[in-house]
Amino acid sequence: MKRIVISNIKKPFEASEDEFISEAKLKVKRAGLNSRDFAFKLHKRSIDARHRDAIMCVCSVLAETQSNISLPEERLKKYGISEAASDEIQIVKGSERLHARPVIVGLGPAGIFCALLLAENGYAPIVLERGSRVEERTKAVERFYNGGGLDTDINIQFGAGGAGTFSDGKLVTRISDEKCSYVLRRLHEFGAPDEILYKAKPHIGTDILRKVVANAAARIEECGGEIRYNTRLDDLKGLQARTTSGEIDCGAIVLALGHSARDTYKMLLERDFMIEPKPFSVGVRIEHLQSDIDKALFGKYAGHPKLGRGEYNLSDTTGERGVYTFCMCPGGEVVAAASEEGGVVVNGMSRFARDGKNANSAVAVSVRIEDYGGSVMGAIEFQRNIERAAFNAGGSDYSVPVQTFGDFIEGKALTEPKRIMPTYMGGGKFKVAELGALLPRFITSELKRGITGFERRIEGFSARDAVLSGFETRTSAPLRILRGEDMCAIGREGIYPCGEGAGYAGGITSAAVDGIKVAVAIMSKYAPID
């Protein structure tokens, strides 16, 4: 089958899908092809709201045909037509025999996609997940929200799907890799909405993502894989894994740990793995009324069903450090993402409908290696100290410390939130505190500068009653487990660092892509399990 993409078709945002397809057919005809030979469908769709009074929709259309077409590339390019890239994964299977089944540590996006490819191709992987299945994990989080104790193995960070399960399920990524399309297609097969296949900023939503994760796990097991929940990796001795459920001989080990597996990081350091610290970011969650964001972005068209909820992605590199927004959740809530006792961590979440009253986003400041002494454990302690300070300021019961932006600028903590109410833990579990005094001075000053500067992009962003919640410390892993061209940890044949927790990804899609790369590397060396 021949597949082409007709790109950069612009029309007013109210235009129907049929109007875009009609325009695509016209371009195909002008290029010298017979549009009747093709089946057309929407490929990508984005909103250009730079001019609020003339909001445009920019689309590309995919056209497929069984005919053998051939035209000069220059002529196709003239009409914005190009050949569609294939998203098929090229697999070459090796001949070396595995002495035992491959073992994947972690069932986040990297672990899921690594296990999925291995299982579907006859490698019968075992997946070790320190947390629980999605259903049990959801109940554990609800118990924590309702005043129960924090389970340090089953929480918003750990369990089936990883930290992404309790998020907006954003699939936007900065990496340019054809495997991204494969990831979207498979997520759609497992129950993600149709729109992730064509929206420029696709998201699944926490409510649907839980079902997607459960379906993906079922597919792994259906194809001969095995998932052992509530099984934490405690030690490695060569290719033998020591876990809370006993010892396991491994043909290969994939370390898809996630960015919060601090105890596992410590164990790897003690086992002399080559691990280097890397920069990361720390900041706050900022909450606005979603209606204010919609109005600022869309003007008189705010609330139009074809525009959806307003979202943003902001950055400022004019100061000494970069300040940027991260994981913006339209119509969402701030979630309690602690995984260690005595620490408060915030993250963002929204459901597919994005119908909550507030918008929230991380506003983060770059932390350099020299800021924490240049060691891996120094990086972890830097994060941990901020989390403990937040815990104490919130009253030592996992309530979150909050502050209005007006008070944050002035260095006081007097104003109770009123118009914009915190959504953390369902609302109500917060305490007004001076956030700036709990952070290193460079983070505080850069947050003030960045949030104030973002007002130039979005009117009302620096509103005095915008609510800040502290603190967002888990934006990414603060380290990288070094690996070679064969994808193995340096000096550790058969052990494969993988995904965001190993320092090779930064979100759901890029972590999934890295899981695919590791699976392909394993399959290229080893033969399937008999």
DSSP codes, 327-371 = EEETT-EEEE---STT---EEEE--TT---SEEEEEEEEEE-GGG
Mean pLDDT across the stretch 40-61? 96
Hey, what's the torsion of the CAs at 139, 143, 149, 154, to 10 degrees? Answer: 20
Domain coordinates in residue numbering, the chain: 2-83, 103-276+480-525, 279-472
pLDDT above 90 (res 394): yes
Q: Measuring CA to CA, which residue among 286, 476, 282, 469 is closest to residue 386?
A: 282
Give residues with Cβ within 8 angstroms of 434, minimum separation 6: 393, 403, 407, 411, 412, 413
pLDDT above 90 (res 491): yes
Give residues with Cβ within 8 angstroms of 77, minimum separation 6: none
pLDDT at 159: 97
Tokens of 260: 């919060």
High-pLDDT (> 70) share of the chain, %? 100
Going by their DSSP bridges, the two strands 467-472 and 253-255 should be labelled as unpaired
pLDDT digits (tens, 9 = 90+) for 325-361: 999 999 999 999 999 999 999 999 999 999 999 999 9
pLDDT at 75: 87
Q: Measuring CA to CA, which residue among 264, 284, 283 is closest to residue 499?
A: 264
Count Cβ atoms below 10 Å from residue 284 Cβ, excluding itself. 31
Q: Sorting pLDDT into bands at 50, 70 and 90, what band is 174?
A: confident
pLDDT digits (tens, 9 = 90+) for 134-163: 999 999 999 999 999 999 999 999 999 999
Residues 101 and 119: their CA atoms lie apart, in Å, by 11
pLDDT above 80 (res 57): yes
pLDDT at 367: 98
Which amino acid belongs to residue 103?
Answer: V
Full-model pTM: 0.96
pLDDT at 72: 81
pLDDT at 176: 81
Residues facing 483 on adjacent strands: 489
> In whole numbers, what is the pLDDT of the chain averaged over residues?
96
Residues 234 and 299: their CA atoms lie apart, in Å, by 54
pLDDT above 90 (res 530): no
Do 120 and 89 meet the contact criterion of CB atoms below 8 Å apart? no
pLDDT above 80 (res 173): yes
pLDDT at 466: 98
Mapping DSSP to helix (H, G, I), strand (E, B) and coil, where does residue 36 land?
helix
Tokens of 181: 């399309």
Mapping DSSP to helix (H, G, I), strand (E, B) and coil, where does residue 230 land?
coil
Do 350 and 205 meet the contact criterion of CB atoms below 8 Å apart? yes
Residues 128 and 104: their CA atoms lie apart, in Å, by 6
pLDDT at 460: 98
Mapping DSSP to helix (H, G, I), strand (E, B) and coil, where does residue 300 land?
helix
pLDDT above 90 (res 387): yes
CATH 3.30.70 assigned to domain 2-83? The reply is yes
Using CA of residue 145, residue 151, residue 152, residue 154, what is the dihedral sign?
Answer: negative
Mean pLDDT across the stretch 215-240? 98
Residues 268 and 489: their CA atoms lie apart, in Å, by 11
Residues 219 and 530: their CA atoms lie apart, in Å, by 20
Q: Examine domains 2-83 and 103-276+480-525 and report if their fold is the same.
A: no
pLDDT digits (tens, 9 = 90+) for 229-283: 999 999 999 999 999 999 999 999 999 999 999 999 999 999 999 999 999 999 9
Place of tokens 């000096």: 491
Residues 180 and 202: their CA atoms lie apart, in Å, by 12
Do 323 and 284 meet the contact criterion of CB atoms below 8 Å apart? no
Q: Measuring CA to CA, which residue among 186, 262, 199, 165 is closest to residue 508?
A: 165
Task: Domain 103-276+480-525: give its CATH code.
Answer: 3.50.50.60
pLDDT at 436: 98
Residues 182 and 186: their CA atoms lie apart, in Å, by 6
Rg of the chain, C-alpha, whole Å: 24
pLDDT digits (tens, 9 = 90+) for 446-459: 999 999 999 999 99
Cα 392 to its chain centre, rounded Å, is 29
Q: Measuring CA to CA, which residue among 192, 132, 141 is closest to residue 168?
A: 192
pLDDT at 17: 96
pLDDT at 177: 86
pLDDT above 80 (res 396): yes
